[in-house]
Amino acid sequence: SLFTEITTKKREILNSYKIDKGFKKTATEDNRRDVFELIKIEKLLLEIRYLENDGDTTKVSSGRSENTRLI
């Protein structure tokens, strides 16, 4: 369905930010983000919630890491 295609595409874009690695600098990686990246990530997370929950962004999405990152 179109809904699934759009949600999948947004998740692919979200995955390119590698949010599952966190947002801190480690000994081997720098996962810090600038303000514009954080705004884009937040927008994607809210859009996914909106699509999955019939327009209600206060409900959690089906992606666990998506919910932990949007606090």
Backbone φ and ψ for 12, nearest 5 degrees, come out as -65, -45
Spatial separation of the C-alpha atoms in residues 50 and 64, rounded to whole Å:
15
pTM score over 0.85: no
Spatial separation of the C-alpha atoms in residues 42 and 32, rounded to whole Å:
15
Where does 1-63 have alpha helices with state H? 2-15, 35-52
Q: Give the pLDDT of residue 70.
A: 64
Q: What is the pLDDT of residues 44-64, one digit of tens each?
A: 999 999 999 989 888 888 887
Which pair of structure tokens corresponds to residue 66? 């998506």
